[in-house]
Structure 1
Amino acid sequence: MIRKARRYGLTALLLGLSSFSIAAVPGEFVNTIEDAQLMGALKLDGELFHVQGLELDGQRIWVTSVDGGRRKGYIHEFDRATGKFLRRLELTDGARYHPGGISISGGSIWVPVAEMKPDSSAVLIEIDAKTLKVRRRIHVADHLGCVAADGDQLVAGNWDSKLLYVFDLTQNGAVRTVPNPSLTHYQDMKVMGGQLVAGGSLTWWTGTVDWIDMKTMKLTKTLRAGAVGPVRPFGRGGPYTGEGMAIDGRDLYVIPEDGPSRVFHFRLEV
């Protein structure tokens, strides 16, 4: 996300100037994704800005991105077979123009759209996956950068995902917060088989995919990830798990590059 540049400041900038390779920091994980085989990559044919979230079904791919210069946020739809651009919906909501990681459940795509600063505000937007019409908006008094949907339950991460918000939509949106059990700054998350599967970055060159038990909110599994270069701020790449991520069984999909973007398909070994 854009805030990474602020977080690592001058040190990261000097490292970036010295080398844009994914092996710039000795001792860090420099492969693609641990215990995963790269199956291929699909180029997305359409305008994207700074990529944030990824979701897909059997026919379509959805990507959120933020145009920081114009302060506008979007969700873009592509054909899954060809990568052809189909349509997009602007998500800008006043001062809230930063869409985050997204999740689909029950025919709805959930998208957080937040102000571009911590301790601010966000709106969770429920969008009909077929029509891209807005079904519902839930206002939250914090920056939210990602959301996972599972029926009537939502889990969302705030700035750097230091806190995870758990929403119960059957109880008028009752919410509780739990600390992130990982050091990873989650960018995208999904619910699968009673587990919260969340991907994000640790540094400009590394990230993880984590599995968190939904009942206990305890970390149960972690896979390390390297980066695709050249990395930001001068390139358009970064950690494979640092931006959009989707998962379907053993099939993991990530979109680590700003536009023009590719969706990388990995097959998990375990």
Structure 2
Amino acid sequence: MRFLTILPLATCALAANITRFAPSVPLAPSPLPLPHTRSDGEAIISLFETLGRTTIWRSIANITLQSPGYTYEPEGIVRLGSDRYVVSAGDWTVPATSYGNGLIINGTDRTAGEGFAHFLVYTGNGTLLADATLTAPGEIEYHTGGIDFDGKYIWTTLAQYRPNSTAHIVRVKPTDLSQETVLRVLDHQGAIVHNTAKQTLHTLNWGSRNASTFAYSQSGQHGRPKHYKPKPSNVSPFASSIATVRNPSYFIDYQDCKLLSLASPSYNYRPIMLCSGIATLGTYYLGGIALVDVETMVPVAEVPITLRTDAGVPLTVNPVEVSVVNGKLRMYWLPGIGETVLRVFEADPRSPFEFGGGPQ
């Protein structure tokens, strides 16, 4: 692979670099596609409601993503039309290690480790177009979480790779991968969605056990009362959430989410997101997807996913995307550490009717 150009990104807080492998090829389509909330979100919700444990998932494509030249862990994925994928990924150079013996230091149980957060842009056939490094050497908030697209920006969290720590929230322009930090948060954060109707940001912490809501405005007054005057950097030391709720579901830990509806008529006009993830039950890894009320974290529909890679890794580890193609629900999964195959599956509407419960 030939490195053609390296360009600095303009940010308000972090230095970063972008490597373009095909400088003449746009990073994103123009105009940008509509987000799920303005295109297929309600159709996705309707089709999700037909899913069950007996749903037959048919493989549509296995897209091998061109290697960026290092072993990375994919965390989130956004599909910008049929010919662009943006993947958030981590490059771990020094692992975070447990202090051992139940020792807790400054509220956490392990060292910070070291690494870099990346955004990778691929064509529909898996050709790597760009690799943007979102964090500078020595940054301890280097773990990129799930990502979501609101029609203008791709949102992500950059966090310490340990619980009960810190993070910052970043928005990235798909057209040039320039980034801006808008909030700092006093906890690890993973998945994120942006409610453009209410101008709120919703994040999930380590294991998605708590969900926080932050006020967001493009004027720079984030998470503060209207009379608050931000510092010139527009980034407060730590933003105060306007609400934090406990996740009432222990079915799976959500790792990547997509906002589908700002006010779904199917669920009393509540904001609804689709989330994917896993739970560790002893030595068994349970995969699943769910429709979740963004503000209360109450799951309104849940479906287990038993699909796995040849190595036995559940497909629902980390990134998820979703679309409707020819009236059918499609899921996009990119599981595992160092995994380079994007797996596309379609729910067969002819799946057998599920009675449930088993014999009595």
Matches within 5 A, 1:152-191: 152-170=199-217, 172-173=222-223, 174-183=241-250, 184-191=252-259
**What is aligned with 1:145?**
190
Q: CA deviation at 1:46?
A: 2.3
- Report the Cα distance in structure 1 between the residues aligned to 2:215 and 2:60, rounded to whole angstroms: 37
1:118 and 1:213 mapped to 2: Cα distance?
A: 24
Higher strand share: 1
Structure whose CA Rg is larger: 2
Determine the structure 2 residue equivalent to 1:84.
127
Counterparts in 2 of 1:132 and 1:191: CA distance versus 1, 3 Å: same
Q: Judge conservation of contact 1:34–1:223 (CA < 8 Å) in 2.
A: no
CA 1:33–1:195 in 2, change beyond 3 Å: closer, same or farther? farther
Aligned to 1:213: 293
1:107-118 matched pairs, under 5 angstroms:
107-118=152-163
Aligned to 2:341: 262
C-alpha deviations, 1:144-190, integer Å up to 9, x for none? 01112232232211000100112231473353111113211111001
- Alignment match, 1:247: 322
Establish whether residue 38 from structure 1 lines up as the match of residue 83 from structure 2. no
The letter for the 2-side match of 1:161 is S
State the alpha-carbon separation in 2 of the partners of residues 215 and 155 from structure 1. Answer: 8
For residues 172-229 of structure 1, give each alpha carbon's deviation from its aligned partner in whole angstroms, at most 9, with x where no partner exists: 3353111113211111001113311111111253211011123553211111112224
Say whether the 8 Å CA contact 2:154–2:171 is kept in structure 1. Answer: yes
Partner amino acid, structure 1, of 2:131:
R
Where structure 1 has 5 or more consecutive residues not aligned to the other structure, the ranges are 1-31, 232-237
C-alpha distance in 2 between matches for 1:242 and 1:135: 27
Pairing of 1:11-22 with structure 2 (within 5 A):
none
Partner SS state of residue 69, structure 1: strand
Q: CA deviation at 1:53?
A: 1.1
Q: Identity rate of aligned residues, in percent?
A: 24
Q: How does 1:95-134 map to 2 (within 5 A)?
A: 95-134=140-179
Aligned residue type for 1:239: P
- Unpaired runs of 5+ in structure 2? 1-52, 95-114, 224-240, 262-270, 350-360
Q: CA deviation at 1:135?
A: 3.1
- Give the one of 78, 92, 99 matched to 1:68: 92
Cα 1:241–1:260 change in 2 (3 A) is closer
- TM-score, structure 2 normalization: 0.60
Aligned length: 232
What RMSD in Å do the two structures reach over aligned CA positions? 2.2
